Chain A
Amino acid sequence: MWCWQGESAIVVTFDGPLEHANAQARAAATAARARRDVTAATPGARTVLAHLTGDADPDAVARDLQRTVASPAARPSREHRIGVVYDGDDLAALSREIGLSEPAIVALHAGARYTVAFLGFMPGFAYLLGLPPPLRVPRLETPRTRVPAGSVAIAGEWAGVYPTASPGGWRLLGRTDARLFDPASGAALAAGDHVHFEAS
């Protein structure tokens, strides 16, 4: 399934469970970048946005990308360890909501291995898949007008870290000093990388 986004880019969508669809989207983005008829490609949660050259055949590009096989060895991925002080403003409320103690929440969050699905929302903000199911809760009904830089947060199926202060509706579990975006050098995390959180 594909559709235009504007006059020169197509969105190719992958179906199925999110983690599987995202792995395909990431593999498709990598494959797309190697093509002569694609000028840029970026994965989303379950889509890839491919910017085409003027002479590209969008049906052919979409068909090829749809058939891309996600292979774990396609790209060397890096492992990142991010130290977290678990004193987030939403920890207590989350504990009441899901009926787990704060240490149990921390153990679950810090015990998982996450995969960077894609970057978006703001420079260096990585959407992480791999959040343990008991921690999957909706976003805050009323977003905060300001979430501090370095906030370690969760929402729905996602985990993430706010690289800079911004408005935001994710639940805050803690904070980190890790620098996830530097205008001079770019983003610390890339799609396909793995992340571990460590209580410090």
Chain B
Amino acid sequence: MTLQIVRAGFAAVQDLGRPGYAHLGVPRGGAFDEWALRDGNRLCGNDPSAAAIEFVLAGPDVRFDDEATVALTGAPFAATLDGTAVPFATTVRVAAGASISIGKVIRGARGLLCIAGGIATAPVLDSRSVSARAGIGRALAAGDRLPVGVRPGSPSAAAIRSIGGDIALGAAVRIVPGPQPFPDAALETLVSEPYEVTTEADRVGVRLDGPPLRDGGGGFEIDPEPVVPGAIQVPGDAQPIVLGPDAPATGGYPKIATVIRADLWMLAQARPGDTLRFEICDPAAARQALAVRLRETEASDDA
């Protein structure tokens, strides 16, 4: 079973990434909006780790050589199936030979096209995720033909709470302070002032613009150490950068805090010009929030 990329937009294959390979210097990678991937895979009856097509701001046109079941999750995009509007965050049957055309984003930034069986490109270090900047795979191009796997379960009829487009609701992004010590005043500034997403926002990192997080001296570096996606680096210009899934596995700038995993999707869905607010979260509360999100995306459909 295969599908064909007719027009690529800004798209690449992503799954849950390579969390076990940081010791090789390999970025974690994977879908930036993890919950959109898990939601889509649940709808399609896939394992949570099945690969999908992630796109940002403008989606691809995809022709299906065989009958397929798909779901669009994450940010809502204008999309049509042979000319008819495709509903968002639900399963859609696609006939052999039909095409889905995904246009521009409506709200948020990143969407996912999940397909029953998952995209079955050859895995590299246990993942199909593309980390182009790290030299692992490449973005999709017109004419690419992608294999589709065999789906392990049946598609879900359950309604899901796909949240990708709701960044505009303005919920605070929760952060765990550290690991580097910053003056109390800097942390206080980070959680009390709005920060605007700049145009330098991609899968490597999202650079923010707001009140400086140091007194402007700048240039302060640390011995390089492992970093995780969501870490908020503060380089010499005192403007924070939230690391994304394709960030290098180590970094030499101090980190004031880390966006909790349950909320990292908000960075994936933030567009240049959007305003983010941060809120301090206890690690135990962050683990609780993660457990709740995981339960929501793994809920059984047997009932």
Contact = CB atoms under 8 A, between A and B. Distances in A.
A36 to B, nearest CB: 17
Given A4-B283, A47-B226, A49-B226, A123 B179 contact: no
B231 interface: yes
A3 B178 contact: yes
Chain B binding surface SS class: mixed
Contacts of A186: 21, 24, 125
Interface residues of A, number: 38
B25 A119 contact: yes
Interface in B151-183: 176-181
Contact of B24 (A29, A54, A124): A124
A46 B290 CA distance: 29
A6 B231 contact: yes
A126 B248 CA distance: 13
Contacts of B19: 40
B16 interface: no
A6 B22 CA distance: 16
Interface string A133-165: 000000000000000000000000000000110
Contacts of A5: 176, 178-179, 227-228, 231, 255, 258
Interface string B255-268: 10011110000000
Interface of A: 3-9, 11, 18, 29, 40, 42-47, 49, 54, 118-127, 163-164, 181, 183-184, 186-187, 190-191
Interface of B: 19-27, 124-125, 134-136, 176-181, 223-228, 230-231, 248-251, 255, 258-261, 281, 283-284, 286-287, 290
